[in-house]
Amino acid sequence: MINKITKLRLSLLAALFLLFFSIIVINLYCIQIIKHHFFSSLAQQQYTVIVKTLPARASLFDSKNNIIATEKSITSIFITPNNLKNKNALLLFLSEHYPQAIEKLNCHAQSHFMYVARNISDAEITALATHAPEDIFLLDEPGRWYPVGCLGPVVGKTDIDNKGISGIELLYNEHLAGTPTTASIEKDARSGRFYFNKKTLTTGHEGQPLHLTLDSTLQFLAYEELKETIKKFNAKEGAVVIMDPFTGALSAMVTYPCADPNCPHLDDVSLLKNKVVTETYELGSVMKTFLALAALEEKLYLPEDTIDCENSKIGYVNGMKFSTWKEHGHLTLSEIIEFSNNIGTAKIAQKLGTLLYDHYQKCGFGKPTGLTFPGQQKGHVTHPKTWSKASLNSLSFGYEIRATLLQLARAFSIFANGGYLPTPNLVSDTAYKSQQPSLLYRPETIHHMRSILEKTCTQGTAHAAKIPGVTVLGKTGTARLIDETGTYSPLKNIYTFAGIVEKGSYKRVIVTFVKEAERHDLYASSVAAPLFERIAQKMLIHDKVI
């Protein structure tokens, strides 16, 4: 017989077992039902790895199918902070060669991975092979190589992670980079070995190459000529743009000085700016071309109509005093442009009035060019509502109007293609093909302007730009810059030449520009016009025109 005490003990034991069993059941219910997603996610984190595989960045090609940007392996240094074998030796090495990495190491002491330096030089790689401590490791990563360094301001550059940060590289980053393939790989959480199936979550695609309208050889030739001119006159900087006046295709966009995009560490990123489109200037007398164009189109003057230029270097028009470079008496409209007389142009402007503003706008000044490029400026033309008493005079010889060199090249195309304003382009696939721009000026007006601009290059201020056996049309421009005091300085000048080279059906527009030469008594006729002539000569030979 089981006594009462034994029965009580058995009952208590059964109750305890029941309680424990209930707790286990409830706990299992919580784990498997209530917190199912939480623990499933935790398990996934232990044995599932998400891997992103980036495709190679696509190459860039010039108009002759030469590579101007392509993939290149770069070398970086890394360490594993949580698994150092000889920390003292590592710290001694870092303090001597990479001191900036020590503070970073202190902040990431438990990290599995840390970069010490990226995109190191060949000399550093050689040195590391013999002097690096055992905790230093090298890693090959995808990078970018640019065979023609002077294309940097146009082609642009990628950052350390191979993403475009300027120029075409930035503008077409997604097109060139493609998209990564994302996959999940299940591994043994204890050993770390992969043994489950690999599952593709998203399928990426390869980056697509781009063919540009640029001619890398012509770019280099223009760059070398520009560099020599800058050095000759000890100038601050300069630029050149070469454009097809029919298609708008840009063959060269040169700036000097410029940074080599292959350099891993740039001290001055402004040297990667494409100043042909990102900077605007008051270009001076080269704008008289479009004053004459407006006067002829409005039938206010004929090329042979004479204007009294007062035989003086000092002029008073509309009560405002200004100067011109040389005394002239009576000149025809054609001669006023040929010899760049400010008094004559101011008088023409007074007759045009607000029509001058309309024609500047008509020629694309103060408006976007249609080219898509990072940092491009549209310039400015002072509106008649805000004109001062001096504005018409200033506008007539290229002040109170700010333009990019690309805008100037585009506007000059009007005289080469019969009166149309082309849309500039850099990518061959988007080149002008079937587009039909509207005719802006009468053929008679264009004919008169071509004659004026040709005479300017044979007997006028731009005679240094003429090339035997080739038709050259163009105009010079010398302008003063505003200094720190807010006034136009006689010590700071810019020199511009906009011209057209023609032989048969071959036509190109070239704009040359030089800023702040050391000498202050120079004119564009002796700086920018000879530069144009040398570049045009090399271009004609390169293109097998002569």
pLDDT in tens, 319-353: 889 999 999 999 999 999 999 999 999 999 999 99
Instruction: Decide if 3 is inside a domain.
Output: no
d(CA 250, CA 241): 8
Indicate whether 225 and 353 sit together in one domain: yes
Please answer whether residues 515 and 236 qualify as being in contact, where contact means their C-beta atoms are separated by less than 8 angstroms: yes
Integer-rounded Cα Rg, in Å, for the chain is 35
pLDDT of residue 432: 46
Indicate whether 254 and 381 sit together in one domain: yes
Please answer whether residues 207 and 56 qualify as being in contact, where contact means their C-beta atoms are separated by less than 8 angstroms: yes
pLDDT in tens, 420-441: 999 999 998 654 454 567 899 9
Instruction: Decide if 204 is inside a domain.
Output: yes
pLDDT of residue 95: 87
pLDDT of residue 31: 66
Indicate whether 490 and 363 sit together in one domain: yes
d(CA 220, CA 64): 14
pLDDT of residue 138: 83
Owning domain of residue 202: 48-66+150-212
pLDDT of residue 506: 97
pLDDT of residue 335: 97
Q: What string of DSSP letters covers 85-108?
A: S-HHHHHHHHHHH-THHHHHHHHT
What pTM did the predictor assign? 0.84
Indicate whether 110 and 228 sit together in one domain: no
pLDDT of residue 179: 83
pLDDT of residue 194: 42
Please answer whether residues 389 and 319 qualify as being in contact, where contact means their C-beta atoms are separated by less than 8 angstroms: yes
Indicate whether 408 and 388 sit together in one domain: yes
For residue 30, what is the DSSP state? I
Secondary element (H or E) of residue 474: strand 471-482
d(CA 498, CA 532): 8
pLDDT in tens, 196-243: 555 666 777 888 999 999 999 999 999 999 999 999 999 999 999 999
Nearest to 276 by CA among 534, 511, 533, 524: 511
d(CA 484, CA 482): 7
pLDDT of residue 192: 43
Indicate whether 318 and 455 sit together in one domain: yes
d(CA 397, CA 288): 6
Please answer whether residues 395 and 356 qualify as being in contact, where contact means their C-beta atoms are separated by less than 8 angstroms: yes
Domain count, the chain: 3
pLDDT of residue 466: 94
Indicate whether 388 and 442 sit together in one domain: yes
Q: Report residues of the chain scoring pLDDT below 50.
A: 1, 191-195, 431-432, 434
Secondary element (H or E) of residue 42: helix 36-47
